[in-house]
Structure 1
């Protein structure tokens, strides 16, 4: 379950972005997860909820935006939606596909609340 290491990386990224003089806590985190990224979103949510304890993200809610998978045929140039890697081009049936969207996992933003 690599989602635990992904959750730890999300927390590390956010903690490094919080100003050292901050007295607040993170109340929400927004990430984008590609549909072709091999990340199981339910497992990531579960892992995040476990590893966030005892950090500035202990109260944080993880919000995930799923990015649709898109491919481009290297034979005819057709761009199309895809939800798995084993999909042929809808125009020419070629399996020579370049993934152009949907493999990413990005931390987009987080909200910091003052403690006081």
Structure 2
């Protein structure tokens, strides 16, 4: 698992279970359930690096759509509506992507 050593398997499983159906993903609930909301700034940076698949320094829409799959292979993709809400919540400067600082703010919100 990509988050081994950062998040517990049980917390990740519970968080994924809470949003397994299309339309049920809520980033605030997910970050709390998986334990990321309570992690250090360093751990949040590690999480950002994992989610930033193309290593561009930003999490773009296509990476957000596959967000849950970073936590567990085979997890569902987010719906277009969920992805849009997630991106809007994190993209505070309006550039259409989420930077590391924006992601940290999103996790801690």
Structure with higher RCO (Cα < 8 A, 6+ apart): 1
Between structures 1 and 2, the one with greater strand share? 1
Between structures 1 and 2, the one with greater helix share? 2
Name the TM-score, length of structure 2 as normaliser: 0.32
Name the TM-score, length of structure 1 as normaliser: 0.31
Larger Rg, first or second structure (1 or 2): 1
